[in-house]
Structure formats: C-alpha cells, structure tokens
Amino acid sequence: MKSMENSSAYRPWVRALLRLRFFPIAAWVFGVAGLVLFGWFTVHQDIPRIQVAEITSEFDRVTVRMSGKVVQTARFTDSGQLGFALSDDTGEIKVVGGRMQAEALASANRLPRYGDRVDVTGCLSVTGHQDHLLCLQSSDDLVLHRNPLAPSYWTGSPVALCDLTPSECGRCVSITGVVKTVEIPVSGSKGIYRIFIEDGGVERTVVLSEEMVQSLDGRLPPPGKLIRAQGRIEMNQQEVQLRVMNAGDFRIVKGSNPIKTRKPSALQPIGDLRVNQQGEVFTVGGILGEPRSIRGGVIYPLMDESGEIPVVLWDKQISGEERAVLDAGLRIRITAPLVVYKGSLELVPADAGGLIIESAL
C-alpha cells in the first residue's frame, strides 16, 4: 500500500517532466510550420505591377513589378554593379543590380541593350528627390525581350581604325569611319558584304552578313557617309577586319552627308569605267541581257558598244513589282554607284529611281 501511495504521489511530477521534455520538440515543429507558411505566402502573394508615375513614398522598400523599354544600355560601375534606365509610358527609372546579378546576366548574354524591352521584379528605393531606384534582387527577376536591331553591349571603348591590329583579334570594339566603297556579294559567294571605311588616313573593312543587311531593309550606306559599327576584330587573309555580330550594331551617323560624286550629263561608256573609280556614281545606257537569279536579288548584264557590266538589283532595294517591267532586250539608262567585287566591276542602283526604260530592241 505504501508503494502505491508513493507512486501516486509522483505522478504530477512525472507529468510535468514529460511536458517539459516534449515542449522544445513542439516548439520546433510549430516554428518550422510557421516558416513554411510564411514562405508559401511570400511566394504566392501578388506582387503589385506599377508604372513610374505611380511611385510614391508608400512604395519605399516594397517589391514591385515594372515593364518598359530600355533607354540606356546596361553598364558596369567601377565596383562591378549593374545599372540601366527603364522607360514606360509615364516616365523613367534607373534599375540597379549587384555584382552577382551583373555577372550572371553578362555570362548569359542577357544584359539589356538600348531598344530592348524588359519585365523587372525588384525592390523600390524611393527618395524625396524623385531619384528612385528599382533594385534587382536576382538575375532571374529580369525577363528580357531582345530587340534584334538594338545595339549590343560591349565592354571595350571606342578605338581608332589604326588600333585594329592582329594582336587585338577577338576583342570587341566600336569604330567610326567614312565609307569609301561597298563590296556586294555575287551569286555563289557566302553572302558577305564588305564596307571599306577610312579615318585618319587608315582604311579598314567592316563585314556584314546577308541576313544582317536584309534586316537593315537592304539599305547600305553610300560612299561618303559616316558610319559607326561595333563588332569583333578578326583576320581574313592577313587583313584585319571588324565583323559586326548584330544588325543594331551598325549605324549611319545622322547629319553626315555623302561626298560629292561625279554625275556626268552625258552617258558614260561602259568600257571606260575603271577600278579606281569605285564608289563614284555614273549614268550609263545599254541593252539588258538575260537575267540570272541570286540569293536576295537578280543580276542583269548591261551592254553598250564599248563593253558589258553586271547590274545587281536587290529585292530590298528594287521590289519584284518594280523589276517586272524589265526584260532582256530592253534599252535602259541607269544611274548607280560603281562597285568593285573581287576585281570585277558592278553597278548597284539604290532604288528603282535609278532605272529609266528608253525603248525595246
């Protein structure tokens, strides 16, 4: 009996000890469950989508979504941070990111360029001076809609043509120069356009693919125009050239005027045209021969009493409807720049206005 009384006396203490023993476990379970619920709520809560004009002090340190056009290409600061400007229909805001976000975007070739469109999720930093910032927390929070005509981002600075040397092969740079001549590919070639430019007495070659030219609506700069191009330095048959990688990296500088070209009032005999006259504009007359199709256009031979020369008509410059009036045997007058390709002369009119049909044979 005495043992039973003693055991019953200890029961409250046993119960208390058991409660103390399992209290940390219960606290841990409830703590983990709370964190899980908080994480679920954070992920699934609706992040507000706002525009620049809607930003007020209430949005300071609030995570938001913003969309718009990139109006300032992404650049690195001295500390390795990222910054670019975003514009929607109501205003502009600067988007910034840390070193990790900058390196992740750069390695994935997802740095925003001027003209691209982006959707960004980030934390707003609102100041009283309206110098608001949208802080990118992760590279995954930036959705990029690339504009194919937007200029690329290059880490290199603009360089002079004389600095394009074999030792710099592989480097991405920006150059500026005046167009001297344009070399247009003929049938059977790889569709490579070569634009010869000059600056400071130094000449270099800018290379464009046919697809790139087509994206430029087939409009190439005439001789005398000032152009700016970005690309990679490479070698071609012991000659240094700049290969443009994106159509948006080739620009005609606004306000630059073409050089004065000789436009004789009388017809120029085809046989009198010379290689050293490349880039000049001539007016010749003759009879069209049988055309042959090439990728992206047609070539007509043009003959007069002194010789023969190919006339290249590109689809993007002279449409099929405009070419429909042409046929072998027609006598035409053509005004076009003289182009030299692999030592051979060609005439390449910029548009249908350079063609005049005089009579049939």
Segment 2-53, tens digit of pLDDT: 454 555 555 565 555 555 555 566 556 566 666 655 555 454 457 899 999 9
* CA pair distance 4, 318, nearest whole angstrom: 112
Spatial CB neighbours of 33, under 8 Å, sequence gap ≥ 6: none
* pLDDT over 80 (residue 349): yes
Residue 218: the pLDDT is 55
Render pLDDT for 182-237 as a digit per residue (tens, 0 to 9).
777 765 556 688 888 988 788 899 988 877 777 665 567 777 788 888 877 888 88
pTM of the model: 0.38
**CB-CB contact of 335 with 342 (8 Å):** no
How large a percentage of the chain has pLDDT more than 70? 70
Cα separation, 35 vs 33, whole angstroms: 5
What tens digit of pLDDT does each residue of 299-329 get? 999 999 999 999 988 887 776 756 766 778 8
Alpha-carbon span 345 to 361, nearest angstrom: 25
Give the pLDDT mean for 179-183: 82
* Residue labelled with tokens 């073409």: 258
* Vertex 254 angle, CA 252 and 257, to 5°: 85
Rounded to 5°, the CA angle 96-102-104 comes to: 140
